Amino acid sequence: MTTPRFLLRYTSLIEGGLRVALAGDSLLYAILRYHVGLENEHGAPTLAPGKLIRPSLVLFTTEELGGNIEQALPAAIGLELVHNFSLIHDDIQDHDEIRRGRKTVWNLYGIAQAINAGDLMQALAVAQGARAGREIVAALVEATVAMIEGQGLDLAFEEEEVDVASYLDMIDKKTGALIRCAFRMGGLLAGSPIDVVQDLVEMGRDLGRAFQIRDDLLGIWGNGTVTGKPQGSDIRRRKKSLPVSMAFAQACGEDRDLLTEVYFRKEIEDEDVERVIALMERANVRQACEEQVSAHLEQARKRLATLPFSERGIEEMNELIDYLIRRKR
Amino acid sequence: MTTPRFLLRYTSLIEGGLRVALAGDSLLYAILRYHVGLENEHGAPTLAPGKLIRPSLVLFTTEELGGNIEQALPAAIGLELVHNFSLIHDDIQDHDEIRRGRKTVWNLYGIAQAINAGDLMQALAVAQGARAGREIVAALVEATVAMIEGQGLDLAFEEEEVDVASYLDMIDKKTGALIRCAFRMGGLLAGSPIDVVQDLVEMGRDLGRAFQIRDDLLGIWGNGTVTGKPQGSDIRRRKKSLPVSMAFAQACGEDRDLLTEVYFRKEIEDEDVERVIALMERANVRQACEEQVSAHLEQARKRLATLPFSERGIEEMNELIDYLIRRKR
């Protein structure tokens, strides 16, 4: 599996932008540089950033539509900072001790300072967005609000049975909002007509769903040594991911009793995880989810074909789509 | 002690603005309405909001300088939401179970959802600010960043000895930033000349310091039945407030050993609290802090006299200053 070329093209530009946005003397700024992978915990430079998908999409889309990527950089950085502030807070909420092979912020600096660090990153995201003008701030804030609403639903879902429609609404917010925002910002920054911006957003919706459902599959059937999480980890955490919603929708009799029993209990044993996975495989849930991923990516490909992108641009977006189907983490 | 008149004048306007800003169907919005005191935990309307000092100051200043308070409302609401998001997160960080006589958000809804609720409120604050234009968003974000930096310092100070200069830097950020921002926004919204805005900000700096030092005094010598906190509660929490910084600066011999010993220990007993209070009284720390409050308020009064406020406006600001000297909680 090759990483899409455009994910490599903007890396140094984005890293430079992050460095400027997160420059500051006090401990909090050092924590933020640690979190995004610009520094290690002793403040020494490192290069261990995440995939930078969202800001790369902003810059790629802007460039494809004839805009200026230097001018688009603050918007792209703002979006990446929103994503990263949510990761700092998610890790506290989920008690995750490790991210990208390194200790999470709360694990290294305590919960109080980690809450604070995430708060600062959210504020710095707006400071970046504000440099790009009113329309960009509005888009950024709208996406931030939707993402947090989605996170709120995801947390609330831990206590209830979730149907597929509610699940899709949740991921359209939690994961989809920032991906749609990346494409919208690209269109806005390039000054594209409103119908192009709308098509970009729709393509973002399908890509966001495909991305999240693939993530859900990896959370249950992913290879632990590649994903960094044990197999079945989403079952252990009782995440109401798509496989679970589908299993609840389809299971009956003993299988249904098992699901209800496991998902509303305090502790889940290894044996339960195996039984739930076996049940999902009997119900063909894995295949159904893979079909969903393919269907959304097919939709995205169709939308892509109508966009005024260059030939190379279409090719590179297709590389991203292939990557989203096959990615292992 | 009478509440300053202008704190009552804008209450219903501000409550209406909060209601609009926090309208939303999902649980998170209900949590936010609960937090600001618009609803009880069952979603029934209540009227238990805080003092609304910051948004009242925005509207008051705007009006005094000839601006339109309806147009200023989104900025005022944005500022109040920044203040309130910080309270939601502070309560988690400080493990505070009660605020304004009601359960804190984390205490009622859990830490994960409380982190999320604060995040949403920060984003909604920007959404409000953005309605008032670019300059207001910039002022709001600058103040938010400073406030969070101050909170970061306050948390870091729990582990170290703090001199008076560092203390003042910390409160200028943590408490002062939003108060200065209230005056700055008022000036900006009324289209005042830059030197008037600068004078407003300087007055805000003195008021902010007086406000926080008064708070520090109440945190040690306040009457528990009025403040809602036990006497000496800031000692128990090892907050490096001004009395503590002053005590460290002045104490020597056995007193110094006692302070060092108490402030860097895991658990503090009732007896230690009494010994620290006795030590502070020997060192005249209480009086020195009260003198600081008076000195900053005197400075604020001088600055006030130079501002192009109406006679009534000056009178009402002086009411606020008197209130800040005498307030018991």
Tens digits of residue pLDDT in B40-91: 999 999 876 778 999 999 999 999 999 999 999 999 999 999 999 999 999 9
Residue B148 to residue A119, Cβ atoms within 8 A? yes
Chain A to chain B Cβ contacts (< 8 Å): 122
pLDDT at B236: 83
- Which pLDDT score is estimated for A191? 97
Alpha helices in chain B (DSSP H): 6-9, 11-21, 27-36, 53-64, 69-93, 105-109, 111-131, 134-157, 164-174, 176-189, 194-221, 224-227, 233-236, 242-250, 253-263, 270-282, 285-306, 311-326
Measuring CA to CA, which residue among A279, A205, A269, A214 is closest to residue A244? A279
Using alpha carbons, select from B264, B273, B269 the residue that is nearest to residue B243. B273
Question: What Cα–Cα distance (Å) separates residue B106 from each residue in B85, B95, B96?
Answer: 12, 9, 9
Distance between CA atoms of residues B102 and B96, nearest Å? 11
Q: Which of B27, B113, B145 sits opposite A123 (nearest CB)?
A: B145
pLDDT at A5: 84
Q: Does residue A241 sit within a domain?
A: yes
* Residue A16, in any domain of the structure: yes
Q: Is residue B268 over pLDDT 60?
A: yes
Q: How far is B2 from chain A (nearest CA, A)?
A: 36
Q: What percent of chain B has pLDDT over 90?
A: 73
Residues of chain A with pLDDT under 50: none
Chain CA centroid to CA A32, Å: 18
Query: What is the rounded CA–CA span in Å between residue A184 and residue A182?
Result: 6
Are A123 and B111 within 8 A, CB to CB? no
Instruction: Kindly state whether residue A329 falls inside one of the protein's structural domains.
Output: no
Q: Tell me if B149 and A26 make a contact (CB, 8 A cut-off).
A: yes
Of A122, A133, A153, which is closest to B122 when you measure between CB atoms? A122
**Are A37 and A83 a contacting pair, CB within 8 Å?**
no
Q: What is the pLDDT at residue B188? A: 98
Res B226: pLDDT: 63
Q: Which residues of chain A approach chain B closer than 8 Å at the C-beta?
A: 24, 26-28, 85-86, 89, 92-93, 111-113, 115-120, 122-124, 126-127, 130, 133-134, 137-138, 141-142, 144-145, 148-149, 151-153, 155-156
Query: Best residue in A122, A170, A174, A237 to probe B by mutation, most B CBs within 10 Å?
Result: A122
Tens of pLDDT, residues B117-134: 999 999 999 999 999 999
**Residues in chain B closer than 8 A to A113 (CB atoms):** 152, 155-156
pLDDT at B237 over 60: yes
Question: Would the ipTM clear 0.90, i.e. be above it?
Answer: yes
Q: Which of B28, B117, B152 sits opposite A116 (nearest CB)?
A: B152
Is position B268 within any domain?
yes
Structure token pair of residue A260: 């209800």
- The domain total for chain A is 1
> Residue A24: closest CA among chain B residues belongs to which residue?
B149
- The pTM is what? 0.95
- Which structural domain, as residue segments, surrounds residue B10? 6-326
In a domain, B67, yes or no: yes
The residue that leads in pLDDT, B288 or A223, is B288
Q: Are A148 and B26 inside 8 Å of each other by CB?
A: no
User: B244 to chain A nearest CA, in Å?
Assistant: 22
Beta bridge partners of B56: none
pLDDT tens readout for residues B151-208? 999 999 988 888 999 999 999 999 999 999 999 999 999 999 999 999 999 999 999 9
Q: Is residue B192 part of a domain?
A: yes
Q: Answer yes or no: is pLDDT of B325 > 80.
A: no
Model confidence at B231: pLDDT above 80: no
Measure the CA–CA gap between A222 and B233, rounded to whole angstroms: 50
Flag whether B1 is in a domain.
no
A145 belongs to a structural domain: yes
Which CATH number characterizes residue B216's domain?
Answer: 1.10.600.10
